[in-house]
Amino acid sequence: MAARAPVLRPHLHADASDAFARIDWTRPWLAPLVERGRRWQSAALAGYAPYLGTLNDDARLAALATGRGQPLAFIAQDDLPAGASYEGHIAATGCVPTRHNLHDFFNGSMWLQYPRIKAALNARQAAEIGLHGIGATRGSLRDALTLFDENAVLFVSADPALTDALRRFDWHALFQARRDAWGQSCEARIFGHALLEKLVAPYKACTGHAWIVDVSPDYFSCSDHERRSVLDEAVSARLLSESPTSRHFTPLPVLGVPGWWAQNESPSFYDDTSVFRSGRRGRSSGAIDPPC
């Protein structure tokens, strides 16, 4: 008798198909993901097995690897061995336990979009787990790495005045007075997969944690693919060489980004101080030059 194929338990709510169907690829923050994302969405709607198969086909074509050089693959959540840590298993085997839900859908998309950043995050997490084990708390380094993984927005800037405005929470300067600078001297790229999941149903107070990346002006003449490559290399190098803390991040209300939400065309949109709060931050980062 032929062996039966394993049953894939999807780890999703009854309305999971509706959740995948609600992804709106016209949202500006999803533009970098749309080509691959539409295929993944179709596969996810078809079922758990087709979904994992599509992710693995793309991972093989891209020849991706984890921080320890293991070929990247996506496995069913139930294939994570009992007692194994999620990050440790990825580092040791290259296999990413993946549920059939929106959260892991966007996590997988980041492995394909920014493979070096994801590998760096995993390498740091796995190293910390190897040193300290799994305890009741993660510790400050793992907390910062998790915050990046789940909620980071890459704020890319070639203008120190814009970077300073973000750090000072000067929303008028950042979003209104210098509105024309967006796409020319600065941009925001969402990395955090939990943040992307939230933005399937956007709301005004949805806030990311901005990780500032200073670039030269030539960056903005590059193609989207070239920009992502620049960011992937630069940010992953920082994550491996530095020990990030919560002080590396600055809150960024993402629907305030010009061009991302129709309502922010009105200046009064930014008058809501429950969302666009005052505050201060101060942290430097080195400028990088693009290869294009």
Same domain, 128 and 165: no
Residues in the chain: 292
One domain, residues 88 and 176: no
Single-letter code of the amino acid located at 194: A
Mean pLDDT of the chain, nearest integer: 90
- Contact (Cβ atoms closer than 8 angstroms) between residue 250 and residue 166: yes
pLDDT higher than threshold 80 for residue 132:
no
What's the average model confidence in pLDDT over 239-267?
96
Residues 93-105 as b or e (16 or more Cβ within 10 Å = b):
bbbbbbbbbbbbb
150 has pLDDT over 80: yes
Residue 141 maps to a domain? no
Domain co-membership, 189 together with 248: yes
Domain assignment of residue 118, yes or no: yes
Q: Do 50 and 130 have their domain in common?
A: yes
Q: DSSP string of 213-224?
A: EEB-GGGGGS-H
- Does any domain span residue 9? no
Cα–Cα distance, 204 to 217 (Å, whole number): 31
- Residue range 46-70: mean pLDDT, rounded: 94
174 vs 171: CA distance, rounded Å: 5
How crowded is the C-beta side of 115, counted as CA atoms within 13 Å?
18
Q: What is the band of 216 on the pLDDT scale with cuts at 50, 70, 90?
A: very high
Q: Which one-letter amino acid corresponds to residue 186?
A: C
pLDDT band (50, 70, 90) for residue 15? low
| Residue-level pLDDT at 280 | 55
Q: Cα angle vertex 87, ends 138, 17, to 5°? A: 105
Whether the per-residue pLDDT at 205 is higher than 50: the answer is yes
Q: Are 213 and 285 in contact (CB under 8 A)?
A: yes
**pLDDT above 70 for 283:** no
Residue 247 has pLDDT above 60, yes or no: yes
Domain assignment present for residue 285? The answer is no
- Residue 117 pLDDT exceeds 90: yes
Q: What percent of the chain has pLDDT over 70?
A: 88
Give domain status of residue 291, yes or no. no
Burial of 242-268, coded b for 16+ CB within 10 Å and e otherwise, reads eebeeebbbbbbbbbbbebbeebeeee
Residues 208 and 266 in one domain: yes
Number of H helices, E strands in the chain: 11, 6
Residues 43 and 128 in one domain: yes
Q: What SS3 class is residue 65?
A: strand
156, 196 Cβ separation under 8 angstroms = no
Q: Does one domain contain both 161 and 266?
A: yes
Would you say 8 and 76 are in contact if contact means Cβ atoms under 8 Å apart? yes
Q: 227 Cβ partners below 8 Å, 6+ apart?
A: 156, 219, 290
Mean pLDDT on 94-107:
97
Question: What's the domain count of the chain?
Answer: 2
Asked whether residue 93 falls in the same domain as residue 199, the answer is no
* 263 and 207 fall within a common domain: yes
Let me know if residue 191 belongs to a domain. Answer: yes
pLDDT at 28 over 70: yes
161 belongs to a structural domain: yes
Q: Give me the pLDDT at residue 136, please.
A: 59
Q: Could you say which DSSP state residue 137 is in?
A: S
Is residue 39 within 8 Å of 53, Cβ to Cβ? no
Of 192, 136, 177, 182, residue with least CA distance to 159: 182
Please check whether residue 254 lies inside any domain of the structure: yes
Range of the domain at 119: 16-21+29-136
